[in-house]
Amino acid sequence: MSDAPTFASLGLSTPLLETLTQLGYEAPTPIQARTIPALLKGRDLIGQAQTGTGKTAAFALPILQQLDLSSRVTQALVLAPTRELAVQVSEAMHTYAKKLEGVTVLPVYGGAPIFGQMKHLQRGAHVVVGTPGRLIDHLDRGTLSLDHVRMIVLDEADEMLKMGFIDEVERMLSLVPKPRQVALFSATMPEPIARIAQKHLVNPERVEIEHHTIAGPDIEQRFLNLAEGQKLEVLTQMLELEEADAVLIFRRTKNGAAELAEKLGGRGFVAEAMHGDMKQAERESVIRRLRAGKLDIVVATDVAARGLDVEQITHVVNYDIPNDVEAYVHRIGRTGRAGRSGVATLFITPRERRMMREIERFTGTQIKPMKMPSRADVAARRIAVFKESLRKELQAGDLDLYVEVVTQLAEEGPFDMAEVAAAASRIAHGTRAVAAPAEAVKREAPASSAVPSAPSDDSDDAKVRLSMALGKRDGIRPADVVGSIANEAGIPGSDIGPIEIRDDITYVTIPARHREIVLAKLGSAHFRGKPVNLRVAGGESPSRERPRYDRERPTPRPSRPPAARFQRDDRPERPPAARYQRDDREERPRTTKPFRPGAGATPYAARTGKPFPPRGKPFGSSDKPYAAKGKSFGSKDKPYAAKGKPFASKGKPFVSKGKPKPRKG
């Protein structure tokens, strides 16, 4: 483990290392480990590797590290065979350059307006990623300059050969001035590509990644296409449905692994995380518990799972799709060991379908779609497990005491023997374990036009949220919550959850049918000397940290149908009148008198209570209109006077020289 290369050991700069850590990249792939140091030294390179092996980061990271950000000229050129690949490489470089201020990467390809690309090229771009045809077009127009290009990358050179771009590639290489650095990547090495490499590359470093196939032919590969928010619920149903000795779940980041393990623990599963921040002794402890059967589920990252060889692992779940196809092969190879069969499940979101196709092409196998698990499947599985446990107890015998108790209760009445046995089963396993599949199917049926009713406290779906006056500061864990409730109240761990632990308070959801017994058993319990203070959430919070949206809301009153909300009673609707048209009704006589000045009325009163005009005096007929200072405006007065004088320039009024010109027309 200590000899394994890291991104820091490859010579990458601190901003790039910080970005890779945020993205969840823990260790370089084989092609990255061998390519990045050579490119950082300025060597030409021939990389023979399949798509999806991580080669984009292998050449993108050295390019970004060697850019001169003080200049906006084009310093690196990447040739890609298709528009899709050009966009993908450009987006990846933007992602890696998050910590580098001012980096510009421009994708250039055919089928898009060329004038927009010309404007971007005029502003300047440090890296140009494009298809050969469109790049030649910009060269002919004079909008692309190769004078300052110091590195050129040919990505998927064999595909460019198949698409007939070999002449354009030759021309681009001949136009890039020397000295320059050239990196050529190709899955295969046909004769024309080998000839280009011999002609244009100087003493190149050769990196060849061998093609891997699935090591275990008995591994069943399947996938589920779902949204990110569905993953946890679907995973929970899968774990409950399928028989598995041990399950290995892969996440892309160590924080994601720890978070998922905690959530699974809150739902009653025995799960532990394993990631790169753990010490070697801690990882070995997890592996020992897994081999001994004391642990059912391990949530791991790719680095932590290297060298993990446990025969008991029957299921591998790719909760996050890997960054490269090599990692996928490594992941699913953790199952199907020692001649056993295994099951590998891949969760993909709609945007990750392209990566799944690359995995299929790389491995030479088809990943088949699987049926989405449902509540009906879970209910049927619970019934089957419950029946099997009863059969084992019956076969084991030694039930005389229990038979006597059941018989006595049945004889005492008013219950028959079947009801007594059912009650004993519920105490032992919980009613959720024997939920009828038909009810689950009914719950999953599409909603009809009828308004659904809220589940009652007696139904299997009714839940209640409880709060504890303990939190992270008290050292409480999901396992403590599940263990205390399951042990003290006799509730199956699978019935408990989800659990939310905050700083000073913990919330746990349980079936409403168990509420009274849980409150009775744990209401006065203590954890590490501190009272648990268990109560139904929604009342006063037992700590200073109050939930914002967790209070129970009263059932809203039924509202009238929308159509009747503003509808009048059974009155006949009046036909709409024509616009601006008066009806034929006689005009009613006026009942109010018109306003007359001096009559004591005060219309249009301001907030002071004084009528207009101001100064409390109404306007009368004897008043002089437009009077200034009590004096009416006369014809002899000089208008627009400033300080008693008309507007004049040096004592003279504004007059035009000479006589005014007569108006035309």
457-474, pLDDT tens digit by residue? Answer: 444 567 888 888 888 888
Strands of 205-208's sheet, edge to edge? Answer: 105-108, 127-130, 76-79, 151-154, 181-186, 45-48, 205-208
pLDDT of residue 461: 60
pLDDT of residue 570: 46
179-188, pLDDT tens digit by residue? Answer: 999 999 988 8
Bridge partners of 342, per DSSP, are 219
User: Domain coordinates of the chain in residue numbers?
Assistant: 8-208, 219-373, 377-443, 463-536
244-282, pLDDT tens digit by residue? Answer: 888 999 998 888 898 999 889 888 888 999 887 888 788
| b/e code 180-200 from CB counts within 10 Å (16+ = b) | bbbbbbbbeeeeebeebbeeb
pLDDT of residue 659: 60
Gyration radius of the chain over CA positions: 40
% residues pLDDT > 70 (the chain): 71
% residues pLDDT > 90 (the chain): 25
Helix (H) or strand (E) holding 35: helix 30-40
pLDDT of residue 206: 92
377-412, pLDDT tens digit by residue? Answer: 777 766 776 777 777 777 777 777 777 777 877 777
pLDDT of residue 632: 54
pLDDT of residue 554: 46
pLDDT of residue 428: 65
pLDDT of residue 628: 46
Q: Lowest-confidence range among 22-36, 198-212, 414-428, 464-478?
A: 414-428
Number of Cβ within a 10 Å radius of residue 471: 18
Helix (H) or strand (E) holding 328: helix 325-332
pLDDT of residue 507: 87
Residue with the two structure tokens 């028989």 = 243
In this prediction, residues 629-646 reach a mean pLDDT of 53
Regarding the domain delimited by 463-536, which CATH topology (the fold level of the hierarchy) does it fall under?
Alpha-Beta Plaits (3.30.70)
117-149, pLDDT tens digit by residue? Answer: 999 998 899 999 999 999 999 999 999 999 999
Between the CA of residue 654 and those of 646, 647, 648, 651, 661, what are the distances in Å? 9, 7, 6, 10, 16
Residue with the two structure tokens 């070999």 = 166
| pTM higher than the cut 0.85 | no
Confidence check: pLDDT of 491 > 80: no
Asked if 26 and 8 touch (Cβ cutoff 8 Å), the reply is no
Regarding the domain delimited by 219-373, which CATH topology (the fold level of the hierarchy) does it fall under?
Rossmann fold (3.40.50)
pLDDT of residue 434: 54
pLDDT of residue 540: 38
What does the DSSP assignment read for 134-196? HHHHHHHHT----TT--EEEESSHHHHHHTT-HHHHHHHHHHSPSS-EEEEEESS--HHHHHH
Q: Hey, what's the torsion of the CAs at 480, 481, 484, 486, to 10 degrees? A: -120
Confidence check: pLDDT of 59 > 90: yes
Confidence check: pLDDT of 436 > 50: no
Q: Lowest-confidence range among 72-76, 100-104, 580-584?
A: 580-584
541-559, pLDDT tens digit by residue? Answer: 333 333 444 444 444 444 4
pLDDT of residue 373: 80
Q: How confident is the model at residue 526 (pLDDT cuts 50, 70, 90)?
A: confident
CATH 3.40.50.970 is right for the domain spanning 8-208: no
pLDDT of residue 364: 82
Residue 246, SS3 per DSSP: strand
Q: Which of 510, 458, 462, 504 is nearest to 486 (CA)?
A: 510
pLDDT of residue 39: 95
Q: Residue 661 corresponds to which tokens in the numbers above? A: 């010109």
Report how far residue 417's alpha carbon sits from residue 403's, in angstroms, rounded to the nearest whole number.
Answer: 10
Q: Average per-residue pLDDT in the chain?
A: 76
> How long is the chain?
665
In this prediction, residues 424-453 reach a mean pLDDT of 47
Q: Do domains 8-208 and 463-536 have the same CATH topology?
A: no
Q: Considering only residues 255 and 625, tell me which one the structure prediction assigns the higher pLDDT.
A: 255
What does the DSSP assignment read for 535-591? EETTSS-SSS---SS-SPPPPPPPPPPGGGTT--SSPPPPPPPPTT---SSPPPPP-
pLDDT of residue 402: 75
pLDDT of residue 387: 73
Confidence check: pLDDT of 572 > 70: no
